[in-house]
Chains A and B, each alone.
Chain A
Amino acid sequence: MTKEPSRLSRALSDYPLIPLTLLLVVLVVALELLRPGIVNERWIANTIKFAIPLAMLAACQTLTMLTGGIDLSAGVAATVVAFVMATQVPVLGVPLAIAVSLIPAIAMGLLNGFGIAICRVHPLIMTLGTGLVATGCLQVYQRFVIASGSVVPESLAWLGTGRTLGLPNSLALFLPFAALILLAQRQTGFGRLLYAIGSNEGAARLSGVRTWQVYFTLYALSGVIAGITGLLYVGLIKAPSLSLVNPMLLPSVAAAVVGGTSIFGGRGGYGGTILGALILTVLGTLLTLVQIPEGARGVFFGLIILAVTAIYMRLTNQT
């Protein structure tokens, strides 16, 4: 069971992004072979445009998974923020609407943090429950604002769909965001504590870490990230709805997992997740191009996620 890793697997577990990058390249090459000429500047911009919200929502999963948790309320939080923002713009104006809309996401995060840190509820259950409650609240909220209508601000539409010099504008939001997370996970005390709690919460406590502080901060942060994702996504889709971001929840978990973050905590990072989101997006295009029924696409999508994770875990000797 405790197998000593070979040199290759050690190298891979020291540089876990190499096989993922290779996989991404293989997928893109396969796409180009299948439909020559498809991989052009426009396609790349488009792929990035759709991968960014996924990668951002997957940041919620990555950060929480590092502590051995998960945030299944992230999709709902994103939806709530997008919907509240869009319905409040006619009343409050854009800046204030955005500020107000983030409040429910933070509240959800704090509720998650309370349940997980103080009541010791399993994150899967806690975030699931918070998501249910928030969905209900959103439906009730909708009844009250149905008259006022909704507006997606120009600025968000520009950010979500616009392009500058051939590159999607959303990169202006995403690049600093990703840089911040990548830096934070390795080079800040908070980032280290996420790994520490995920590896051994008791040991972290004995070393003087007040874990509740970390959990509250983490899940509130996850709520905020989900909220920002919601704002970006509604700018991309331009039509707020009651389940806007929800379908992206499970893919966001998949992106983090494919990217090599361990669901048991203490291992992985956001770099892999970004690649995971790109891989899933390219895979989606690939499966749409191959003319097979919708059902078969789902089957392949699931099998490929599983295969990638299995191979990757074997390569980096995680089993």
Chain B
Amino acid sequence: MTQTLAKHGWTLGLAALFAALLILTKMIQPDFGLSGLDSLGRAALPFAFATAAMTVVVLAGGIDLSVASMMAVASVTGARLMDGATETEAVWIVGFVLVVGLCMGAINGALIVFTRVPDIVVTLSMLFVWEGTALLILQGPEGGCAVWLTNLILGGLTLPLLPEGLTNWLPKSVVLVIVVLGVIWVPIRRSKLGLSIYAVGSDPLAAYRSGVSLGQTRIIAYALAGLLAALGGLSLTMSTGIGEPIPGPYLMASVAAVVLGGVALTGGKGGLMGPILAVFVLRLVRMDLTLLSVDPNVTTIIEGTIMVVVVMFGGLLALRGRIR
């Protein structure tokens, strides 16, 4: 029990913080309800997927600076193909975009493994490459999006067998994040592949000696990040209805959320829950500040300060632990 608490303490703390912030929001804005949660969920969607992508590579001991650029590629690919396509064709297009994401990630991983250039440098280079690729696909924000995709994240959840009131308060976008990430991550985390990802991030030499194939595991981790980034790109297209070739602020934000979520940048420590919760906490803070009609620029300062203070505090705590 205490061990579980120690292991998941950070995540539980974040969950408590999120709950407290929700209550605070309700106090600021008494009619905060589905529409508020809905806009929160949709705003958080691309950030959540970007953060998930970053989390996977960081767990494997790497970093991917090209996350935002891959999202842009996925977004414009989807938007361009869906422009004028039928609703059923869109299903195939979504599948195709996910494969594209998987391939982009795998290319990043393979380049890191085979050139032996440090991951920061490779993904920094690939940041330019994917950004350029996105511009080649679409010169500016245009394209289209299937209606069913847009509806997927619009409004509250209704399930066929349950009364509407029971589930309606829950925004579809939040459910989408949870379901998609659950379907992708939970089986992996439980499998030997998941163990290998943690092993490679934790101690590559020991992992190699335990029979883990380092290169293969790294490439798979990056490919997964590519897949998740593609989901992030699609979610951008879903919420705006068009494709945007210029990468958004997702790189910095995802690194911030990963750190806030209790994942060690050195790899091997942490989980996916923490960073995703951190995304929602950060989005909710921004929303509350807007509700309090604070200057949006001050919001940026506060966000940055939260991040800096939390990582410094976390660093000091870790230092304490080591001395004792």
Contacts and interface: CB of A to CB of B under 8 A. Distances in A.
- A touches B in complex, CB < 8 A: yes
A184 B219 CA distance: 41
18 contacts: A121-B312, A125-B311, A126-B311, A128-B256, A129-B307, A131-B304, A132-B256, A136-B302, A139-B300, A143-B295, A257-B124, A263-B121, A295-B245, A299-B128, A302-B128, A302-B131, A302-B132, A309-B117
Nearest to A138: B297
B4 interface: no
A305 B136 contact: no
Given A124-B255, A132-B300, A305-B124, 14 more contacts: A120-B318, A124-B63, A130-B304, A132-B308, A136-B299, A136-B301, A136-B302, A140-B298, A250-B127, A262-B118, A296-B132, A299-B129, A299-B136, A310-B117
Which 3 residue pairs spanning A and B have beta carbons closest together? A298-B132, A295-B135, A302-B128
Interface string B287-303: 00000000101111111
B308 A303 contact: no
Interface of A: 111, 114-115, 118-122, 124-126, 128-137, 139-140, 143, 250, 253-254, 257, 262-264, 293-303, 305-306, 309-310, 313, 319
B303 A126 contact: no
B133 interface: yes
Interface string B83-107: 0000000000000000000000000
B115 A310 contact: yes
A137 B301 CA distance: 6
A158 to B, nearest CB: 33
Given A140-B295, A250-B127, A306 B121 contact: yes
Interface of B: 63, 111, 115-118, 120-122, 124-137, 245, 252, 255-256, 259, 265, 295, 297-305, 307-308, 311-316, 318-319
Nearest to B312: A119
Contacts, number: 148
A126 B255 CA distance: 11
Contacts of B115: 306, 310
A35 B132 CA distance: 24
Contact of B122 (A111, A296, A306): A306
A contacts with B: majority SS? helix
A121 B118 CA distance: 20
Contacts of B137: 295
Contacts of B259: 125
